[in-house]
Chains A and B, each alone.
Chain A
Amino acid sequence: MSLQLVTAAGIVIGLLYLVVVLQIFFARLRNRIRTKRQLGLERTWLPILVADTTAIPESLPPLRQRDLIPFLTLWNQLQESFTGEITGHLNEVARRIGADVQARRMLDQRSLRRRLLAVSTLGHLGDRGDRDSWAALVRLTSDKDGLLSLAAARALTRIDATAAMPVILPPLSERDDWSRNYALAMLTDLGVDVVSRPLTDAALHFPIERAPRLLQYFNVAHLADAMPVVRTLIARTSNVECLAACLRLFADVDDLDTVRDYLHHPSWQVRVQAVNVLARLGREEDYAFLQPLLCDSEWWVRYRTAKALCSLPGVEMSRIRDLSQKHRDAFARDMLVHVLAEAGA
């Protein structure tokens, strides 16, 4: 290798090193400036935003354009942290400095971060009289970005929960990019009284393939609304997903006859849910209904059946142990031994 080549390689490595060092330096500098600006913003605005709710100063400091995003971020964080009277105070301050107008403008911007911030701000402001914002948020519930559409749904529920329900139920029943946990938390926050009837009615009247997604939120509905819909759907449909979702919701021994009808359904997803219900609600006589399923072709059905047999009231472990030794089917015997070992019996 020539000296020239070595020198060139050394220069390149040195330059690369310099680039990395400069990048780190500028990243740190940017971070420090941002932190300093954020702290300055908090020093100015925190005392006003967290002041006694009766005391908003006559003149508020102007909100500089470069401070808009940090301010709205702080304001939304305070909205998420607080409850009670102070949220009204936060809204009053935001309106006085024109943050509501700015947020409405930001809805049309390209940056997802800014649009999310705008959606959240409008939701917290909760102005039902602002029809333009309401219409814009309704449109955003069908945005192709799942996060944005869900945030718009959340904002609508904050503005007017009852009016928002018919708007959010169609996407709730269709969109698989909506986080189930977030949607569940949102419905739980709205409360059973607001959610129950619209949710159960939608499950009954929407196309059947959309019902399973709604059925998974039925624990936020009154039983008196939910169970008649579940019984109607299970009688009406042959959709496997819907049947499985309905079976998961049975919690009354009066439904045991219906559940037993599904123990021999062609789909194993349905059979396994029927077995699970018997594990929860079954009686001693279900021993006879369950036992044939120990020979099921599907491992999960055999496993859940063995577990269900062990949990039936009035069925002694000695009876299960005896069955595990005498059953004619080797798969059934193996599964019973497996489940008994799990139970430490």
Chain B
Amino acid sequence: MAHTSTAAATANATVSTLRDVLVIEDDPVVSRLVEHLLTRRGFAVHVAADGLHAQSLLKTLPRPAVIVMDVMLPYVGGFELITEIRQTSGWERVPVIMLTSKSQERDVLRAFDAGVNDYVVKPFRPEEFVARVRRLADARD
């Protein structure tokens, strides 16, 4: 199930405007963790737990500021999804951050070739990750 949370009540939010981030991640703990990290920094987070769900959100969701996604996803893989995102009208230039445990050079190269804008390997530094999301979101503003 997709869900959305906002940071309206987040006391320590450092970003003044609310911006949408689509998180595509099948591990519920990681997705809730990313959601928590981003909402407390003022982002509105939409979560898709698999590739199929993400495909449906491409049609229904307003264009987000940033997409954070895993590579290995049920039903539709990350690379296939990036191709679809890049072909979706209005979403062609949405920055994509890949958040994955795949750390080999060939995985990183393949991701950049597929069109991702940034690549974060798990385990990751949470504040650095949020900074990367913010940088890409700011660049889109």
- A: which residues have CB within 8 A of B? 42, 46-47, 50, 52, 74, 77-78, 80-86
Contact yes or no, B30 A50, CB < 8 A: no
Q: Which residues from A are CB-within-8-Å of B40?
A: 47
Contact yes or no, A46 B126, CB < 8 A: no
Contact yes or no, B36 A46, CB < 8 A: yes
Contact yes or no, B29 A86, CB < 8 A: no
Interface stretch, picked from B85-93, B106-114, B117-125, is: B117-125
Q: Which residues from A are CB-within-8-Å of B127?
A: 86
Q: Which residues from A are CB-within-8-Å of B36?
A: 46-47, 50
Q: Which residues from A are CB-within-8-Å of B125?
A: 82-86
Closest 5 A-B residue pairs measured CB to CB? A84-B125, A83-B123, A77-B29, A46-B36, A82-B123
Contact yes or no, A78 B33, CB < 8 A: yes
Q: Which of B30, B32, B33, B124 contacts A83 (CB 8 A)?
A: B124
Contact yes or no, A81 B32, CB < 8 A: no
Q: Which residues from B are CB-within-8-Å of A82?
A: 123-126
Q: Which residues from B are CB-within-8-Å of A42?
A: 32
Least Cβ distance of B102 to chain A in Å?
13
Contact yes or no, B37 A81, CB < 8 A: no
Q: Which residues from B are CB-within-8-Å of A85?
A: 125
The B interface, classified by DSSP as helix, strand, loop or mixed, is helix
Contact yes or no, B126 A86, CB < 8 A: yes
Contact yes or no, A50 B126, CB < 8 A: yes
Which residue of chain A has the shortest Cβ distance to B10 in the bound complex? A47
Contact yes or no, B33 A50, CB < 8 A: yes
Q: Which residues from A are CB-within-8-Å of B32?
A: 42, 46
Q: Which residues from A are CB-within-8-Å of B124?
A: 81-83
Which residue of chain A has the shortest Cβ distance to B33 in the bound complex? A81
Q: Which of A50, A80, A84 contacts B37 (CB 8 A)?
A: A50
Q: Which residues from B are CB-within-8-Å of A77?
A: 29-30
- Within the assembled complex, what's the spacing in Å between the Cα atoms of A345 and B127? 55
- Within the assembled complex, what's the spacing in Å between the Cα atoms of A78 and B126? 10
- Within the assembled complex, what's the spacing in Å between the Cα atoms of A86 and B37? 13
- Within the assembled complex, what's the spacing in Å between the Cα atoms of A263 and B32? 58
Which residue of chain A has the shortest Cβ distance to B12 in the bound complex? A52
- Within the assembled complex, what's the spacing in Å between the Cα atoms of A233 and B122? 39
- Within the assembled complex, what's the spacing in Å between the Cα atoms of A58 and B128? 26
Q: List 8 A-B contacts (CB under 8 A).
A: A46-B32, A47-B36, A47-B40, A77-B29, A80-B123, A82-B123, A84-B126, A86-B125
Least Cβ distance of A302 to chain B in Å?
33
Least Cβ distance of B71 to chain A in Å?
16
Q: Which residues from B are CB-within-8-Å of A80?
A: 122-123
- Within the assembled complex, what's the spacing in Å between the Cα atoms of A74 and B30? 10
- Within the assembled complex, what's the spacing in Å between the Cα atoms of A84 and B30? 17
- Within the assembled complex, what's the spacing in Å between the Cα atoms of A42 and B37? 13
